[in-house]
Structure formats: structure tokens, C-alpha cells
Amino acid sequence: MTVANLSDLSKDPIYAELLVKIRVLEQRNEHLQQQLDQTNTSHDQLQQLFNQVVEENHKLYEQVLELIEKQRQLIHRLYGQKSEGITARQTHLNYEAAQEDLAQLEQIRDDYLSGLSQDELAKLPAIDRTQAETLIDEAELKAGKEITDELPASATDQPKKIKRAKYTVIPDNLEVKTLVHEPLTTVCDCGCQMKRIGEDKQDKLGIIPKQFYIERHIYPKWVCRECD
């Protein structure tokens, strides 16, 4: 292509328009590249922040495990054996308070573990039942026995109360809804048709949301005259 042809091409409006479009595309590419670089940087920062949070949570988890172990040992040391000047009942109350603190720590541990994946759980140290935990169970049995020993015989040998059935008094001014329970058949085993001789009634208190009514159940009584 000659210089004259280039000169003529530069005067072509289509060529000028193409140059403008190319420039616009180059600017867009530069802008997209900047956004991509910023996104990569933000992603790296977020990943770094996430890793820091995971590491901090793991450290807190290990601290919770240490506190659980110390609490178990503390319970055994303080309440595993009878202390002078403290009754068995007081020891038991203190023991229950310490057990509540231990339960809260174990709940924190379990909540943390419930949010981890199987791979993350595999990386954590195993939770074993320690000797201190076993001794705590023995201490609890011992404390319970000591409390029973301190109680008078009348307190431990009380006769069991007989539970009596409770009857509900249904007001008479409620709406009554009658439900009749007919037998499956009114034909006697002998083949004869039975005749109705009466009925049994049983009232129950039925409840509709924000409304009470009487639900009356009717049980007709049938008898075969031929068999009487």
C-alpha cells in the first residue's frame, strides 16, 4: 500500500470510526484488567482473613478443651473427696454448680464441632474420656450416697403416694356437639336383627381455638330379643 493510499484511508470516515472503536475497546480492556487485578487482590485478602479466623477459632477450640480438662480435674479435686467443715449436701450443691460450668464449656465445644466438615474434623485432636472424667462420675455417686446417708429414715422411707384420677368438671352452658358411635353391625351372631334398648353417654371437653364446647359421645346399646 502506497503513502497516497494511506493518506486516502485516513480520510475515510469508516476508518476513523474503526480507530475510535478500537481505542474504546482498549480502554475497556484496561479497565477490566484493573478490576480483575483488584478482584484477585480482594480474594487474596479475604482468603488471608478467612485463614486467620480459622486459625483463631482453632486456638480458641484448643483453649476450650484445656478448660474442660481443668474443670474436670477441679471437680474431682474439690468434690471427689469429703472436705472438712462442709456437709455432703453443700458439697453436692457445689458439685452441681461446677457441673453446670462444665456443661457450658462442652456445649461451646460441640457447637464449634457441628460447623466443621469431615476433613476439618479429621485434623482436630481426638476427644478422649480422661481418667478425671471417670473419677468425676465416681465422685458424683459418692456424693449422692453421702446425702442419702445424712437424711433421716423417715425422709427416705416415705410410702409412695397413690395417684388418683382427676375428673374435669364441664360447664353446662357450653355448646354440645353429639357424636354417635354406632356398632359395625346390628345383626346378632345368631343371624337375627338386634333392637336398640338404650345408650351410654360420655362427655368430653373439646376445644376449638378460642372456643370451648361439649363433645358428647353416644354409644347405643343393642340386644337381640331372640337370645334374651
User: What residue type is assigned to position 62 of the chain?
Assistant: E
pLDDT at 44: 77
Query: Cα–Cα distance between 91 and 79 in angstroms, integer?
Result: 6
pLDDT at 214: 77
- Closest to 63 (Cα-Cα) out of 75, 53, 74, 71: 71
Query: Cα–Cα distance between 145 and 151 in angstroms, integer?
Result: 10
Could you please report the per-residue DSSP string of 13-65? HHHHHHHHHHHHHHHHHHHHHHHHHHHHHHHHHHHHHHHHHHHHHHHHHHHHH
CB 178 within 8 A of CB 162: no
Residue-wise pLDDT tens for the chain (228 aa)?
444 444 555 566 676 677 777 777 778 877 888 777 777 777 777 777 778 877 887 788 888 888 888 888 877 776 655 555 556 666 666 677 777 878 888 888 888 777 777 777 777 665 544 444 454 455 555 555 544 554 444 444 454 554 444 445 666 777 788 888 888 888 888 889 999 888 888 887 676 655 566 778 888 888 888 886
Cell 461451646 locates to 108
pLDDT at 215: 78
pLDDT at 6: 46
Query: Cα–Cα distance between 9 and 22 in angstroms, integer?
Result: 16
Domain boundaries, the chain: 45-154, 175-223
**What is the model's pTM?**
0.38
Q: How many CA atoms lie within 13 A of 106 on its CB side?
A: 14
User: What residue type is assigned to position 23 of the chain?
Assistant: R
Kind plus residue range of the DSSP H or E element containing 167: none
